Each structure stands twice: as C-alpha cells, then as structure tokens.
Chains A and B, each alone.
Chain A
Amino acid sequence: MTNITSEEIIETDYAIREHRSLWIDAWQRLISSKTALLGMFIVTVFVVSSVGAHFFWEYEPKKDLDYSLKLKPPTLVANEEVPSVHLFGTDKLGRDIFRRVVHGGWNSLRVGIVAVGISLILGGTIGLISGFYENMNMTSMELITLFGVTGFSLGLLSAWIAGQPIQAFLLAGLGVVAAAFPEFQKDKPTRMLIFAAAGGILLAVPALSVSKTTALICGLYGVLSGMLISRALDGNFFSSTMMRFMDIILSFPGYLLAIAIVAFLGPGLEKGMIAIGIVGIPVYARLTRSAVLSVIQKEYILAAQSVGEGHGRILFHHLMPNILSPVIVQTTMGLAAAILSAAALGFLGLGAIPPEPEWGAMLGDSYRYLASGAWWAVLFPGIAIMLSVLGFNLLGDGLRDALDPKLRT
C-alpha cells in the first residue's frame, strides 16, 4: 500500500471523471433510460403536431360540416362512396376525425399548461411560504405584515355587517400595533384584556351610527378578534391555517369539485382550465411545503442565516433551487393529470364549447353512436388522450429517476 508506482497514479487520474453540473448529470441519466426517451418522444410528437397544426394547418370548426360523409369508417384510399381520404373516419357531422384529433391536441396542451401553471404558482407559493416560516423566525417587518393582514381579514366580516369598510382598516391597525409591541405585557392576561377591549371599542364605536344591536354584535366580534391578535402569532399559525384550508379543498373528490367550479363559472375551455387549476393547488402546496421542510434544517441554510442573509435571499437563492426536482417531476405528472381531467370535463359537456375540437368532447359527442358500430369515432380520440398522458407520465417517471438518484430502485 505504501509503494505507489507511477502507473497507478496515472490510472487513478483516469478514474476521476470530468466535472459535470447537477443538471447535465441528470440529463445524462434521463437520456440513458429507454422509457424516459419513449416518453420524451411521445411528448415531442404531441407538442410539435398540435403547435404545428394550430399555426400551419388551417381549420375552421364552425364551417366543418358535411352530412354526406356522416359516420364513415376509416379509409386509406378514396373510393366512390367516400371521395376523400379519412385516416380515422368521420364523425356524426361528417367531420374528419384525424384532423380534429390533431387540432384537439392544441386545446389539451393549453388546458394542461394553464391549469398546471395556476396550481403551481398558487400552490407552490403557499407551500413555500408555509414551509419556510414554519421553521424560521419572522422578522419584525414580516410580523407586522402578518398581523396586519390577519387583522384586516378578521375586520372584513364586521365591516360587512355594519356596512363600514373602515372597520377592516381599524382592526388591521390594531394588528400592526400588536406586532410592533410584542414585549408589552407579554404572556400576561392584561395583554389579552387590553387588546380585547381595544378590538371591541374599535369595532363597536363606528357601528353605533348604524344601530345599537349592530354595535353590540360588532363589539363582541371585536373582543374575540382582539384576543386572537393579542396572542403571539407566528409562522406556525400561518402555516397551519393555510394547510387546514388546503385539507378542506383536498377533502373534496377532484372531479366533483372541478364540475362544481365549472358549474359556477359556466362551461368553456378557459373555465375548465381554472377549475382544474384550483383543484390542483393543494397538491402543489403540500408537495412544496414538505420539500421545504426536508431541506430547511440543512447546514447550508443555517450558514446562510448566520452570515446574515435576508429571508428573501435564502428563499430564492438557497431554498428554491434545492426543492426544484420534486416540483419538476410533479409538474410533468401534473400535465398528464390535467389532460385527463380536461378530457373528463369535456366528455361531460363542461369543457370546450362545440364545435371546438377537444378530445374529451369528441368522445362525449360520439359515444352514443357506438351501439350502431361507429367504433372509430370513439377509438381514436381516446388513443390520443392515452398516448399524450402516457408520454408525460413516462417522462415524469424518468425525470424522477434522473433528478433523484437516491430514490432509484
């Protein structure tokens, strides 16, 4: 062991691999997986065909109608009965299904991206902030904001009851005062009493101009709000409030909630995007929060804190890059789920407004003709949904293996 020959040194040099960044490393792992490559291929075909069709293959759904070609089976060459070629056959209005499937991809892609965007941005922010402040003491500025916003939200109810917007601002002011003097009578009943009284007076006095009973109710409400504000609210308070809220959204089955939201907003592709996006918020919020919780105790965060870096900088420079991989994986898988949900909404007649081509809506249009043997009108849009979803799922699976080699089984 002690005698190392020169050859051995050269050999060890060869063993040291060239330096590669984390992302290039992940990329190498990704393209070395056959299933991930297949997923990437499907996704690419799907994206290129739908974007290409949208911009370079003209299609006017409103004018596409030919009863002479109603429900014709797929044809590969033109014949007497069907003078044009229809690779996937035609539907109940004589429209070429191949054309509509290709154009439908644009709509599905849009729904997927916008819906996931909504869930990711809202859910991700909620999760990031919740996870961060659960483990981080708030600075005085942040506490003032938290107390102010809490006071304002609490004040809204009483402001509505009395019809006086000023009440919300008064309670927000009380919150700011409470945050500015955290040491005042700390942990003593007097603090609670003082703030409860202040809350009661602040809300009851303006309400007197409406009526005595209004003032009474507002005053009682003010006392309760004051008691809450007097307590030492912190990141945990914010986080648990948010997560409880997410739990409530999660306790509804996804489809039903999406249907209810669309019923509220009215049908349409854009409404569908919003509905699917809202339903997905808790998923991203929980994922981001747990990802933050798993890294926030790491030494580099502590180090960043101890050299005096601000919360914003820690969040964006140290935390975000390190929780990116699960979020990327979830986003890819989320695209698949969003396409599926959009198809389901379309199938129930709550997505794209006809005659706009959309896979789910095409299925919903045609499934009644199944009994008369028109299998092609149902088969091809369904295969399109399945393949695109499969593509994103395969890619997501591959990304998970590539980005997190520890999890690799």
Chain B
Amino acid sequence: MEFALSEDQRMLQDSLKGVLSQSASLDQIRKIAVGDAGAVRALEAALEDFGLASLLLPEAAGGLGLGLLDACLVQEALGYHIAPSRFLASALAAVALADNPGLLGGDAKFALAVTEMASRRDGAGLSLKAGKLSGTALLAISAEEATHLLAADAKGGLHVVDAAGAKAAPMQTIDRTRTFHAVTLSGVKVLSTAKANDRFLAAARLLAAADTLGAAQAMIDKAVAYAAERQQFGRVIGSFQAVKHMCAEMAAKLEPGRALIWHAAHALDIGDAEGPVMANLAKAYLAEAGTFIARTATEVHGGMGFTDLVGLHYWFKRIGVNRQLFGSPEQARQTAAQLQGLVA
C-alpha cells in the first residue's frame, strides 16, 4: 500500500509551480485581469511550452495519457497561482472523449459549456434535434479562441461542435482573471457525441475542488507569512493565540481535503465504484473549506486583506467562483446521496 504521490507526480507539480511562479506572478495576473492581451498570451505560451495540453491526451493521440490524479495536481498548481488556463476545459474534454479521442489531438482547443448539467436558469439549456444543437448555455469556459465546444444538452448528452458555430457573449463574474461566456447555438451540427455520465460530472467537480485546494493553500501560506511579519502591541500578530488559532483552523480544514482529492481522483482513475461519490463529496468539502479559508485568511491580514494593494481578493474570488462552478456544494452533496441510493 502506498497512499502518496509518486516521484513523477511530485516532479510534475513542482516544475509546473516553478513555471507559474515566473509566468503567473501577481503582477502578471493583474495585467490579465484588466484584459492585457500580451500578458494573456505570455502565460498561455509558457503553459504551452510546459506541455500542459498534451498531459491528458491519450498516448494514441500523441499525449502522455496521464490520469485524473495528475490533472488534479495540475489544477491545484493553477489555483495556487490563480492562473487562467485552458487546462480545465481540455482535461474534461479528454475525460468526455476518452472512447473517441480523434478530435482531441492536433491544435484542438476546447471550450466547455456544461453549466446546465447541474443548473438550468433563465431559460438556458441546449437541445438536440436531428443532429443539430440549439439554444444558449451560460457561463461557458475557455470560449475565447476555442476551436471546439464541448456542450451538454438538456438530456444528459455531451456533444462536440465546431466553436465557430457558437456565438459567445462575455459574462462578467467576480473573477476577472478568468473569462466566462454565454454561448448561443442555432442548429449547429454535432461532430461527436458522448454520454454525460456520473464520471464526467464527478471529474468536473473534482477539478474545481483541486483548483480551490491550491488557491486556499496559497491563502493560508500568505496569512501565516503576514502574521509572522505584522507587528501590533509590540509583537508579531502570529504570536497571539487568536491569530494562531485562525491559522490552525484553516490548516486543519484544508489538509484532509488534500487527501480526499487524492483518494477520489485515484478511485476515478482505477474505476472504483466509490469514485464518483468521493469526487462529489470532495467538491462539497473543498467548497466549504475554501470559503472558510478565503474569509479567515483575509481577516488575518486585517484591513490590508480588504484592499487591492495586497491582491488577496483574487484568491478570494477564485475560490468563490469554484464554489458554484459545476454545481453548489448542496448540489454536489445531493448527487453524492443519489449515487449511494440514499435519496431518489
């Protein structure tokens, strides 16, 4: 038995963090947040050089064929550095098209429109008629410069269409580092169809949880570092138990979440029946832990935590978006209960 990351997995994560600490510094992220196209391209180029796109591609399609645990490690590193990336969308495309990987290779860039798998609001949702997809999907991911769109229909199908056939209108969220769009399709021909099974939604939720794991860890690290420097009443605030306990509570909540993500990802990778349950619970767990940490780490920073000067709010917002992405914690827990046959 070995419940730990392999040497390769540690190296993958460490080297990606190395790239990100250069290419996704807070200065760079600030530029991306105000729409600096050059900064966006520079980060994209660095991640392309790193080979992010090919990690999850099946070996047959020229990739490394890595699994969901590896994907979670990548997503965690991206979350830690609040780096926008196509990785989430392409990783989920690789999950959806595992049996039909032909569309994944080459220069394919996937956008993802699956919000309505969990929640249909404001009349949104896509419907399939005679092999063509129509309707509007909200909060699509990575729509900019996408070649393909992976979209969920109202009946649990997942379809790939040419992204050129979709009209994308930006939707402004609290998180200015990542872009979201409403995509509208009017009878766009479906190129390929996969079943939106439990595994797909579980993988989507798990990756959102992994992103929060990274972002929340960054917030704890920043809070602990700040508490070691900031002085009040003649001593560093980290020596006050009130502050120390806030930090301990954050660590105590987050650390089991890390093990839970590893376990859920591994279970999905080996096809363990408990995998989807664990992944949904991991989403809910990290959503709650992340929200607690986002608030608490901000409070440890006192007034400075509230300002734009420190920039802590980028992590706060990253965690806030992840909490709702692919379904709220309540929805993830309901899915977990349904998967276990506890409720209908």
Is B a genuine binding partner of A?
no
